[in-house]
Copies of this chain bind each other. A is one copy, B any other.
Amino acid sequence: MKRINVGIIGCGSITKFRHAPEYKANPYVDEIVFYDRNPERAKALAEEFGGRTVTSVEELYNDPTIVAISDCSSNESHHINSTNALLNGKHVLCEKPLSVSIKYAEKILEAQQKSGKNLMVDHNQRFTKAHQKAKELLEKNELGEILTFKTSFGHQGPESWGVDKSNATWFFKKERSHSGVAGDLGIHKIDLIHYLLDDEIEDVHAFHGALDKVDENGNPIEVCDNVVCAMKTKKGRLGTASFSWTYYGSEDNSTTIYCQKGIIKIYHHPDDQLIVEMKDGEVIKYQLEQIQTNDNQTSTGVIDSFIESIINDQEPIVTGKEALTSLKVIEKILS
């Protein structure tokens, strides 16, 4: 079995908690090469996960043993780093969102086309077991045509996460977050709906606003903390979507797909992550995932899928084009 080396640009949390450990666990990955503007951060990860560091991105580009690169740089740099990596002949896994504007995103896609290398974007909702199972059921078409859908993604807000737990979080800043809850949570569900329905949201009506969150000075935040949408797809399906940072109870990560012969309910019940209700009263409950504890953290599956696409020379499961399509829906929502 041939193994490959990978490079990582940017050594923040997403690298530490997702990219580095999942690359390390992947049997096809030989060595991880870390780069960060701050060399200390790169060194820390190299110590924790093994591998080595470089002091410039060019070293990554010029190293012929490095086959693939994770672009975990901050959002405003993706169109520079991912583009260069691709043009230097590397496969790229770019963190979400693909870019801060449609124009820049298109530039990355052009680089991908030119290079012929794989470009994948980290939309990880597709990879959960329940979404995979829903996709499988829908592809088998046992429930008939899809008619309508509902999807939600909401929790108590990003300021309650992390070590700091402060309202000064970058999520609340216009210049860094750009799109508030729409870009933070909404884009995940837009991508998911495109994937599950094998369709594209063509038309969207939405309201959005900063209804409750305040910044560290007690002023309403500059980005939206809630979005509600009515949607129509190219194939004519209708649906609603709600994205929120103000669900002050349990998290809602649910999606429901209404078909001609039954209904698929995803993440409505903690034990049975997917439930199918049939027209004749049959109910089928899927227990797909163990309760996660600190001891059995599961992988997102994204890294494995990216590596698999390289090894098997296949198109990645989330392409740059798909990521662009989702970005455009977010733009429409916020316009």
Decide: B258 and A244 in contact? CB cutoff 8 A: yes
Q: Which chain B residues lie closer than 8 Å to A145 at the CB level?
A: 212
> Which residues of chain A (251-296) have a CB below 8 Å from chain B?
258-263, 272, 277-279, 281-288, 290
Assembled-state Cα–Cα distance A246/B239 (Å): 13
Q: Is A3 close to B, CB under 8 A?
A: no
Assembled-state Cα–Cα distance A232/B229 (Å): 11
Q: Which chain B residues lie closer than 8 Å to A279 at the CB level?
A: 156, 248-249
Number of copies: 6
Decide: A209 and B238 in contact? CB cutoff 8 A: yes
Q: Is A231 close to B, CB under 8 A?
A: yes
Q: Is A247 close to B, CB under 8 A?
A: yes
Assembled-state Cα–Cα distance A278/B248 (Å): 7
Q: Is A43 close to B, CB under 8 A?
A: no
A contact residues vs B (CB 8 Å cutoff): 129, 145, 147-148, 150, 152, 154, 156, 203, 205-209, 211-212, 226-232, 236-242, 244, 246-250, 258-263, 272, 277-279, 281-288, 290
Q: Is the interface of A mostly helix, strand, loop or mixed?
A: strand
Given contacts A240-B240, A282-B286, A286-B282, contact A248 B230 (CB under 8 A): no
Decide: B261 and A238 in contact? CB cutoff 8 A: no
Assembled-state Cα–Cα distance A286/B283 (Å): 6
Q: Which chain B residues lie closer than 8 Å to A246 at the CB level?
A: 147-148, 258, 260
Given contacts A279-B249, A284-B285, A287-B282, contact A147 B232 (CB under 8 A): no
Given contacts A148-B246, A258-B248, A261-B248, contact A240 B212 (CB under 8 A): no
Decide: A272 and B285 in contact? CB cutoff 8 A: yes
Assembled-state Cα–Cα distance A249/B148 (Å): 13
Decide: A285 and B282 in contact? CB cutoff 8 A: no
14 contacts between A and B (CB under 8 A): A147-B226, A147-B246, A148-B226, A207-B230, A211-B236, A227-B238, A229-B240, A240-B240, A247-B258, A248-B279, A249-B277, A281-B290, A282-B288, A285-B285
